[in-house]
Amino acid sequence: MNLVSSSCIARPYILVGTRARLMLMAVLAVCILILVLFSCRRQIRNLNQSEYCRVISTPVSSNWIKQFKQHEYKIFSQNGEDGVLLWIFANIGTIHQPPRFVEFGVENGKQCNTRFLREHLGWQGLMMDGNNADLSINLRREMISPKNINDLLEKYETPTTIDLLSIDIDFDDYFVWKSILQANRFHARVVVIEFNYEIPPNENRVVDPNRDSRRWTYTNFFGAGILAMAALGRAHGYTLVYGENNAVNLFFVRTCLLLQQGVFDDVPSVEQLHVSKPARQRKPVPETDKSRTWIWNDTVWIP
């Protein structure tokens, strides 16, 4: 006679089976959690990337890229930057409310690219200059270099995405912008940057800022040529769209914005955008110090 019931014999197998199912369910739950976290992280990253690629407003004109010359005019800027910037943002809109900017190399802030935006359109932002400060307009006295620019932007709590970045420091503008781009901590939808118009549009060269500490000595040894600037921008998702008539500043817009609007193919070539004879004649004296050398092809141009 069997004194052990069949239910007692089956119980260990039931317990083992239950534990196995629980372990399997736990493993599946962990896998699902990992997939959810990965998906969320990817969505957040995509949101961050798309933030500066978001077209906010319907373009005023379907071929606005071809109409810069008629919109170039001066209000407070050194040249025609005021009109050019107003035209750009009329067609791509702004992502912040109020819109946000960063500009450095502004002197006392009276003649700069963002004064009209700040005083009449409600823009807010950070200005920096090596010799001037005015807290009433958030102008900070800072000596800017490629090594410290990202820390300065963080110091003054710059948003990770801004509508406009304007760079004019008369010498190593290229390398300061490159430092911002490579750090990938701060992103601008539009960039205005000074260049050296005397460098031909087929020469990809930029000053070597590490050879001496004199910076700009009012000669033609400063900055970067239009091709070097265009190459740097293109390598990091920007397209050169215009160079103002006095050949001081170049204007870049996020390539993704131009593609979304279907106007990327309207952008002129680098050669077409280069101004070899500025409307306002200025001729820096030639550099005679042969120890001051250029860096060639720092960023390779990709046609």
CATH code, domain with 280:
3.40.50
Q: Please indicate, yes or no, whether residues 95 and 38 belong to a single structural domain of this protein.
A: no
> What pTM value is reported for the model?
0.82
Asked if residue 251 lies in contact with residue 190, where contact means CB atoms within 8 angstroms, the answer is yes
- What residue type is 106 in one-letter code? V
Say how far apart CA 223 and CA 220 lie, in whole Å: 9
pLDDT digits (tens, 9 = 90+) for 165-213: 999 998 899 999 999 999 999 999 999 999 999 999 999 999 988 876 6
pLDDT digits (tens, 9 = 90+) for 250-289: 999 999 999 999 999 999 999 999 987 787 766 778 776 7
Q: Please indicate, yes or no, whether residues 110 and 40 belong to a single structural domain of this protein.
A: no
Q: Please indicate, yes or no, whether residues 161 and 47 belong to a single structural domain of this protein.
A: no
**CA-CA distances (angstroms) from residue 295 to 96, 146, 221, 285, 300?**
37, 16, 12, 20, 12
**Residue 64 placed within a domain:** yes
**Residue 177 placed within a domain:** yes
The residue with greater pLDDT, 115 or 292, is: 115
Q: Please indicate, yes or no, whether residues 15 and 128 belong to a single structural domain of this protein.
A: no
Q: Please indicate, yes or no, whether residues 31 and 119 belong to a single structural domain of this protein.
A: no
Q: Please indicate, yes or no, whether residues 30 and 91 belong to a single structural domain of this protein.
A: no
**Residue 271 placed within a domain:** yes
Q: What total of structural domains would you count in the chain?
A: 2
Q: Please indicate, yes or no, whether residues 44 and 64 belong to a single structural domain of this protein.
A: no
Q: Helix (H) and strand (E) counts for the chain?
A: 8, 9
CB atoms within 10 A of CB 80: 22
Domain carrying residue 78:
58-296
298: nearest Cα among 178, 166, 187: 178
Residue 34 has pLDDT above 60, yes or no: no
Residue 225's contacts (CB-CB under 8 Å, 6 or more residues apart) are 195, 196, 199, 200, 201, 203, 204, 205, 206
**Residue 303 placed within a domain:** no
Chain centroid offset of residue 234 CA: 11
121: nearest Cα among 94, 148, 141, 145: 94
Q: Please indicate, yes or no, whether residues 14 and 62 belong to a single structural domain of this protein.
A: no
